[in-house]
Amino acid sequence: MRLFLALVPSHELRLRLGELADVAHANCGGRRLPDESLHLTLAFLGEVSDEQAAELAEWVNLLAVPSGEWRLDAWGHFRRPGILWVGGQSPDPALGRLQRRLWDALEGVGITGRPSRFVPHVTLLRRAERLDAHGLPPPDLVWVYNRLDLIQSITHDRGSRYVSLARSPES
C-alpha cells in the first residue's frame, strides 16, 4: 500500500484553503484538489507491506508531535507536473525539524527516500494550465498543528483518495 505522513488541517482551515483553491482554479485551470485531500506531506513513504504499515500505524499512534504554527503567506509552483501550491515565504524551522526527526526515525527502521530538499506546501491544483500567481489574492493563513496522520493513498481513475490509518495523539 502507498503511504505518507502528513499534517491535516482543521475543518475550518480546509475550507479557507478550498476557497484559495477555487480562486486559483478559476485563474489557472487544471485539476483542483478536493478539500478533503488538502494536507502538508512531511514524508512520502511509497509502497510498503501490510506488515510494515501496521508497525508504522502503531508508531504513529504513540508519536509525540510538538505543536507549532505555520504561516501560509505565499503562492508557489512546481513546473513539472504543473502543481500550484500555497506555503510560506520563509522556511519554517519547526516544520523542518519535525520533518528531519521523522526521517531519522524512518531510516532507523529501514525506510528510505528522504528528499534532498523539503519545501513545505499544500498542493491546490495539479496540471495547472498557468502557473503564474500574479493576480491571485495573497494568502494569509495560520495553521496551528499538534499531530500528524499516517495516510494511505488509494489511486483510481479520477485521482487519489486518502484514508487516515493512524493519528498521533494531540500535544
Structure confidence at residue 5 (pLDDT): 98
* Residues in the chain, total: 171
SS3 at position 115: coil
Distances (CA, A) of 134 to 93, 99, 137, 163: 27, 30, 8, 34
* Residue with cell string 524512518: 106
pTM: 0.94
Q: Could you give the domains of the chain?
A: 2-167 (3.90.1140.10)
Mind listing the pLDDT tens digit of every residue in the chain (171 residues)?
999 999 999 999 999 999 999 999 999 999 999 999 999 999 999 999 999 999 999 999 999 999 999 999 999 999 988 999 999 999 899 999 999 999 999 999 999 999 999 999 999 999 999 998 988 999 999 999 999 999 999 988 777 899 999 999 998
Residues pairing with 164 in the sheet:
151
Structure confidence at residue 152 (pLDDT): 97
* Residue with cell string 487519489: 160
* Spatial separation of the C-alpha atoms in residues 79 and 70, rounded to whole Å: 24
CA angle 90/95/98 to nearest 5° reads: 155
Compute how many other C-beta atoms are within 10 angstroms of the C-beta atom of residue 5: 26
Structure confidence at residue 158 (pLDDT): 75
DSSP count for the chain of H helices, then E strands: 3, 10
* H runs (alpha helix) in the chain: 11-28, 50-62, 93-108
- Whether 69 contacts 62, CB under 8 Å: no
